[in-house]
Amino acid sequence: MQKVTNYFHLHLVSDSTGETLITVARAAAAQYDSIEAIEHVHPLVRNDRQLDRALIEIEASPGIVLYTLVNADLAQRLERFCRDQGAPCVSVLSPVHDVFRTYLNVAQTYKAGAQHELDASYFRRIDALNFTLVHDDGQLAEDADDADVVVIGVSRTSKTPTSIYLANRGVKVANIPFVPGVPIPESVFAATRPLIVGLVASPERIAQIRENRVLSLGSRAFDTSYVDRQAIAQEIAQMRRLCADNGWPLIDVTRRSIEETAAGIIALQRDRKGPLA
């Protein structure tokens, strides 16, 4: 029986980029089967005119309204409007701020987008992203000891997107492809500073992704072992032996999202050296 998906309008009103709201909203929506949100993101709402545009869209497409507005007048106006429209309206960060104020006994600064300041943490993330981009897919492998993390994995284990995600957390990553018959650069074995971690997945999962990739590229000139399950199984076994021989931790990404894989790597790094951030 075909699953029926029900849709609803979800308005995200923010005085900053809206990233916090998007993350919270998607985490909540993911808990409901057969339900999908039609997202209306209203970023950088910092005055009445900007709020007016959001209110017009809320009225045209009624639904749930989530917001993060530090301006009390704008927040009250949004809540009044939603109350009149009969639309549920929730300040996502208010309960968190209440706990912080009570526990810390300090006043809130009410500064929009404070988490996006151009501080040392921001520039560390930019530096990590630049490093990771130029050390993708085995490039400049001689710099392995300058990385925080070296990721080694067979093809189609999401090495690059995992590396980019880590870079956005301020982690410098070099990723090295594991290709049967091609030696891992000696600079990786000589590296003492970074955490070196291997990525694998089930042969079935890798074969499926590789087959889809070949079809999407429309390529007929490719090595059939690239999608052969037995050859892939041998490739994975070699990767596992490489990590076991060198004492490198191994993560199976078969049922992991990129975020979960990155979180696992950060946990390994924290256990090894202490917090990264």
Q: Which of 116, 46, 39, 35 is nearest to 75 (CA)?
A: 46
Tell whether 160 is in a known binding site.
yes
Say whether 224 counts as a known binding-site residue. Answer: no
Check the annotation: does 91 bind a ligand.
Answer: no
DSSP 8: E
Q: What is the 3-state secondary structure (H, E, C) of 123-179?
A: HHHHHHHHHHHHCHHHCCHHHHHHCCEEEEEECCCCHHHHHHHHHCCCCCEEEEEEC
Structure tokens at 152: 């080694």
149 carries a ligand binding annotation: no
The answer to the question of whether 153 is labelled as a binding residue is yes
Q: How far apart are the C-alpha atoms of 20 and 18, rounded to whole Å?
A: 6
Q: Is the dihedral of CA 138, 235, 186, 260 positive or negative?
A: positive
Nearest-angstrom CA–CA distance, 167 and 132: 7
Residue 159 marked as a ligand binder: yes
Q: How many CB atoms lie within 10 A of CB 110?
A: 11
CA atoms in the 13 A half-sphere facing the CB of 152? 28
Instruction: Return the bridge partners of 67, or none.
Output: 13, 91
Binding-site residue positions: 153-160
Binding-site residue positions for ADP: 153-160
